[in-house]
């Protein structure tokens, strides 16, 4: 990454940091309980299936290299009344083996339609324009909970000719909106007996206590009790319609959570660095520089004159150049907010890749007031 690109990266990050300051400094900022917690037992269930996509324009699996596609075609045709020998060598280019994944939402009823994702598992070139043949979707218990079928929508595009290939986005995965129909329901209960349990999204004793206080203030003393830093037990009406109305009121109550945790997320593979508003640094000194070692090897030939009677000799000359650049020791003052942190680190001239090492060293020295997470 060039110095110009690095400067642009940090300038954009500093602008975003400054623009976000008013949002985090507002004392009236609050979240709804439904954004902070979920009802215990009310959850999605993952479904998965294996099927075939047909109707591809010569971009399907090469069946000679994907025997499971050939076997699937033979099995499907057998169920439809057409029998082929298992030794039959099929050369089909318009069929691809795929995996179908989706989430079965809570309280889903028979006949409800849900979206599905279709992904190639063979060596197909593209799933664009294909149609998914009826495929059962199973849960973790092996039971069939939905049936999937429909025309596949792929967001990418591509073309290839004479050894040249151009692709935009991804061609081997797509979605089918309302592509699956629920065939089996998953029983979901709202609590156990007279109680409903809320699970906080993060373990924070302060925020959990504030949620309990808001519920008791709005719904009556003793309605909610904190079991631990994550679980809240709420005394709710046992009649179904009254319980739904009661929970609807609770989930829309507003709570001002405790200050968020100072955290930095670093992705060294992409060079992405994201830090929230609570990140600060203490006074520290950091030396950042790059050691450059360049080795040049040159082959030189020494050839004697025609009448000298000598032999041609090849010699190797090697030049080693070592450069140390930008290794000055810089003092970073304590930063009170995100923009100060960005400006301080930007003064070192570090690119996102170098920033990972700098942040880790600052954390080890106790100068970085944040949790550092590398993903």
Q: Do 275 and 243 fall within a single domain?
A: no
Residues 275 and 357 in one domain: yes
Q: Which residues contact 145 (CB under 8 A, 6 or more apart)?
A: 45, 47, 104, 137, 138, 139, 182, 183, 184, 186
Domain boundary among 156, 182, 208: 182
Please name the residue ranges forming H helices in 121-260.
205-219, 240-251
Domain annotation covers residue 291: yes
As a whole number of angstroms, the distance between CA 119 and CA 50 comes to 10
Cα(214)–Cα(224) distance, rounded to whole angstroms? 9
Phi/psi of residue 368, nearest 5 degrees: -105, 120
Q: For residue range 334-370, what is the model confidence (pLDDT) as tens digits? A: 665 556 666 666 666 666 667 777 777 778 887 777 8
Question: If pLDDT is split at 50, 70 and 90, which confidence band does 136 have?
Answer: very high
Q: Are 174 and 244 within one domain? A: no
> Which CATH number do you get for residue 216?
3.90.1150.10
Residue 22 parent element (H or E): helix 3-25
Is 161 within a domain? yes
Residues spanned by the domain of 282? 3-26+262-301+314-374
Q: Is residue 318 part of a domain?
A: yes
Q: What is the pLDDT of residues 156-208, one digit of tens each?
A: 665 555 555 566 667 889 999 999 999 999 988 877 788 999 999 888 888 89
Q: Is residue 127 part of a domain?
A: yes
Q: Which is nearest to 135 in space by CA: 155, 121, 156?
A: 121
Answer yes or no: do 12 and 67 share one domain. Answer: no
pLDDT of 11 over the 70 cut: no
Residue 198: which of 238, 236, 245 has the closest Cα? 236
pLDDT reported for residue 177: 93
Q: Based on the domain organization, do 318 and 221 belong to the same domain? A: no
On whether both 297 and 335 belong to a single domain, the answer is yes
Mean pLDDT of the chain, nearest integer:
78
């Amino acid at each position: 990454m060039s110095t110009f690109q690095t400067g642009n990266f940090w300038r954009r990050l500093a602008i975003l940091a400054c623009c976000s300051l008013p949002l985090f400094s507002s004392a009236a900022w609050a979240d709804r309980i439904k954004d902070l917690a979920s009802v215990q037992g009310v959850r999605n269930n993952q479904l998965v299936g294996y099927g075939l996509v047909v109707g591809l324009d010569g971009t399907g699996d090469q069946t000679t290299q994907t025997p499971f596609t050939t076997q699937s075609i033979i099995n499907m045709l057998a169920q439809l009344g057409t029998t082929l020998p298992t030794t039959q060598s099929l050369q089909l280019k318009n069929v691809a083996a795929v995996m179908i994944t989706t989430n079965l939402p809570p309280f889903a009823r028979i006949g409800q339609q849900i979206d599905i994702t279709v992904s190639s598992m063979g060596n197909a070139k593209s799933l664009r324009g294909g149609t998914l043949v009826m495929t059962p979707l199973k849960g973790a218990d092996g039971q069939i909970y939905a049936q999937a079928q429909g025309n596949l929508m792929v967001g990418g595009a591509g073309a290839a000719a004479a050894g040249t290939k151009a692709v935009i986005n991804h061609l081997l995965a797509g979605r089918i909106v309302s592509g699956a129909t629920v065939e089996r329901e998953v029983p979901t209960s709202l609590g156990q007996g007279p109680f409903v349990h809320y699970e906080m999204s993060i373990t924070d004793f302060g925020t959990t206590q504030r949620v309990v206080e808001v519920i008791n203030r709005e719904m009556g003393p003793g309605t909610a009790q904190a079991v631990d830093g994550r679980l809240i037990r709420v005394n709710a009406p046992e009649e179904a319609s009254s319980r739904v109305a009661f929970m609807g009121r609770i989930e829309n109550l507003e709570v001002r959570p405790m200050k968020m945790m100072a955290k930095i997320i670093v992705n060294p593979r992409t060079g992405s660095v994201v830090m929230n508003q609570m990140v600060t640094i203490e006074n520290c000194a950091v030396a950042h520089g790059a050691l450059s070692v360049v080795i040049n090897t040159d082959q030189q030939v020494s050839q004697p004159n025609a009448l000298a009677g000598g032999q041609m000799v090849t010699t190797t000359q090697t030049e080693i150049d070592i450069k140390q650049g930008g290794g000055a020791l810089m003092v970073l003052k304590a930063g009170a907010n995100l923009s100060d942190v960005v400006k301080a680190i930007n003064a070192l001239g570090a690119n996102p890749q170098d920033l990972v090492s700098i942040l880790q060293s600052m954390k080890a020295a106790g100068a970085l007031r944040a949790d550092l997470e590398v993903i």
